[in-house]
Structure 1
Amino acid sequence: MSHRNARLTVHGRRLLIARVCSGRPVAHVAAEMGISRPTAHKWIRRWRSEGDRGLTDRSSRPRTTPHRTPSAMEARVCRLRQDRKLGPARIGPILGLPASTTHRILVRHGLNRLAFLDRPTGQVVRRYERDRPGELVHVDVKKLGRIPDGGGHKVLGRQAGRATRSGMGFDYIHSAVDDHSRLAYSEIHGDEKAGTCAGFLRRAAAFFTAHGIDHIERVLTDNAWPYRKSFAWQHALAGLGATGKLTRAYRPQTNGKVERFNRTLLDEWAYLRPYTSNQERSEALADFLHTYDHHRCHTALGGHPPISRVNNLAGQYS
């Protein structure tokens, strides 16, 4: 891409070639376009040798780098990073390299952040995104302790809150997140039984349909019993014309989009402020979901909310 002060774009270079080919002197055309004669001759040479392809921008990266760290040394740096999770400041002295060089090697291989790695194996976590809305929907359940009337420990303090919470039980927040658009839907229930999960899936599908995602092709869940063995869940999938998919056991990275949504759910709804009752927290869920779907920007979506991607792409893939 040309820099913002560039005299010539690809269109300007074609104009330069056209004027020179019409028989005008190169020096005159260069003066008119505000460039030097050597620059004008450079683009003319490229056009004569490569055609229109030679008028596009090229990388300024050198063809060879004689002083680059040998590949065997880079492999040792990567191995230490993946096996022992060491940082540049510790890897450098071990291998006799400056920490800055070590850091550049890690960046080059995508290992500069531990968040990029699967901690048990040290392998780079492969991120993915489905091509169209509805191609894959992630479903998961988050369990939260209910809040007694008058508030729990965040309102009353740890000791008093523990006493009032006894026997309150749990809320189960069922959530569905579209893999492509990140559009999310959640409900609060008193359990995570098969019938509850199946009913939630049907209502989630109706929500997605109302927002422009007409068909769910696959539903990804963990290995909980209602998703593996229940007839109610399989019947719900069949009614939607969807296929059920299970994550690898003990690998939450597989359905990481809904796992990340659960974390956002806690930070921006469940633990956002002290609630004085369970009903107050439950009523706040609808506002959170509206903000999440319609107003909250997502870095994975270029700073736009999920609904914008559905609006832009649902018609294209329908």
Structure 2
Amino acid sequence: MPWDARDTMSLRTEFVLFASQDGANIRSLCRRFGISPATGYKWLQRWAVEGEPGLQDRPRTPHHSPNRSSDDVTALLRMAHERHERWGARKIKRWLEDQGHRMPAFSTVHNLMARHGLLPGTAPGIPATGRFEHDAPNRLWQMDFKGHFPFGGGRCHPLTLLDDHSRFSLCLTHCTDERRETVQQQLVSVFERYGLPDRMTMDNGSPWGVP
């Protein structure tokens, strides 16, 4: 059942006091108080930042508002992180969207998770550098060979080509070598299908390190 409207502030205060104790089982407390984990983490977040005033209701914003409250998003991220502690920002974002939640851009999700210590191997309070991302497809493509391994009596050299903005895989194919001619042949096929990018980036190794 939802919060009792007769004493909402007392219930919220009681919840955050219990949930703030060391070793508290947040999901169990949410069931006990009849609220969702996302709601529980939202009140914990507001309590930690604002104290008791943060537990008061706020004016509702339109569902489509681009300025969705960051503490609401953080509450969802905390809930997802509790279920999937080893997941990074991209998988968490996709999982929450699959659950029907509207999420901000990947860079915002990544920064919020880093700020609150929700990324694997991070701690709260460490500022996130984020990842530079071009603002439209075909602005920058990233190309790389992902090692090589024995295959069919020869060797397989996986060639990858990724659009920086959308993270769409433009090409993932096996090559028998890493020669310039082999790469050019694959690029011609990609260019014919997706057009030309403004720029491409790759390391300085063979074959693209040669003029």
TM bucket, shorter chain: 0.3 to 0.5
Q: Specify which structure has the higher proportion of helix.
A: 1
TM, length-normalised to structure 1: 0.27
TM, length-normalised to structure 2: 0.39
Structure having greater relative contact order (Cα 8 Å, sep ≥ 6): 1
